Structure 1
């Protein structure tokens, strides 16, 4: 069957099998490998993309179902050579370790900030609750989203404060040893 959709601002039309999942269409057909594929069961959330601006787990959506819609992947976050504040927040606050869950986390975080520009830590945790990170313990991910919110609000002092872990927190480096 033929499917046409807008992906990261560009119209694409391809011949596909009707059973092809959106995650495989993005990765294997379009070569957009920023969207990761983890489980095929919607448990891990590494494959989150947006359809018409709403986050969805692309391992549970057929590519044919996205026909006629606008799909955005993690590759769409950076604009004009500038990283999105969410991407910068993940860098500033060490919101990633292995990086496998990061694209899905970033897409979910960006969607949250688009709806709620000043989320509380609990609201951030709620937003990312459908995603699994096996490395960070989530504290640095929450700090990364808080950094992005403060940065977008023009409050560099607050962003800087968020970037510094609280003394004694799990995110604070251990003196003389690895974190």
Structure 2
């Protein structure tokens, strides 16, 4: 798969220097989906932008989402006609926008879409994430039909976590790129 087929979906305020998404873009040539306004994210605008990028992709894509990007993936997947183009999604440290403190900061993103995703997904949660408890991350993984990976105590799994290029996350992404994964997951769910 071409590196430009891996779409990086940052969360609120984008992913800056030292963030694993920025490192992956630099090291591997993955494509960051640029949003119109990183500081005042509008769910409709972000969804339309993701729809445009996936629809225009020449072949299948893999999504690598962080924080609000995870919430975007679930919402987009519930409304798109292009989900068949997604081979898989790596969902890292989803932001719980239904929590009152986050709902006031990031308006218009609740409710979170809770349907099973129509493509294989892996969700990485952290035990000390200030924006989503590990229990809530586990519940989202179950709702979305994603495999839950216990990231340990990595905070919000961002630049402050000191992960650099985060090789463990890259290994999870490569598993999603592996041929035959989709059939294996379907057998497990069947």
Please give the range of the TM-score, normalised by the shorter of the 2 chains: under 0.3
TM-score under structure 1 length normalisation: 0.25
Q: Which has the higher helix share?
A: 2
TM-score under structure 2 length normalisation: 0.24
Report the structure number with the largest CA radius of gyration: 1
